[in-house]
Amino acid sequence: EIVLTQSPATLSLSPGERATLSCRASQSVSSYLAWYQQKPGQAPRLLISDASNRATGIPARFSGSGSGTDFTLTISSLEPEDFAVYYCQQRTNWPPTFGGGTKVEIK
């Protein structure tokens, strides 16, 4: 099973700042990595698939990069609605696995 490690666990930032979230895989997942946003009491929302492809309706301030074992989600300028928990997920093989999450909180 592929283990995904996200860092940092918590990111304290102010609206308007840039957020950089990291996801590292225990072995190569090629580009088969997605990012999700989850707010309390809500289902996950797909942001990015295949490392860098924004999902339908996702604002351009969200971008993903990386391949192999190291991936980054960047939020270029935080909006109030972006404060949430973010998960990465790989689909290279079964089972799909998620990282432990990064909480982006208001500083």
Cis ω on the peptide bond leading into residue 8 (within 30° of 0)?
yes
Instruction: Please report whether residue 43 would count as binding other proteins according to CB under 8 A.
Output: yes
Which residues are 22's β-sheet partners?
7, 72
Closest distance between other proteins and the C-beta of residue 9, in Å?
11
> Do 107 and 10 form a contact (C-beta atoms < 8 A)?
no
- Residue from the set 8, 15, 59, 96 that interacts with other proteins by CB under 8 A: 96
Considering beta carbons, is residue 18 or 39 the nearer one to other proteins? Answer: 39
Q: How many residues does the chain have?
A: 107
Rank residues 15 and 81 by Cβ distance to other proteins and give the closer one: 81
Question: Shortest approach of other proteins to residue 42 CB, angstroms?
Answer: 8
Is residue 68 close enough to count as binding other proteins by CB under 8 A? no
Please name the helix (run of DSSP H) or strand (run of DSSP E) that holds residue 86, with its range, or none.
strand 85-90
CA distance 13 to 23: 19
Which is nearer to other proteins, 14 or 42 (by Cβ)? 42
> Helix (H, G, I), strand (E, B), or coil: what is residue 5?
strand
Q: Is 58 a binder of other proteins (CB under 8 A)? A: no
Residues near other proteins (CB under 8 A) = 32, 34, 36, 42-46, 49, 55-56, 87, 89-101
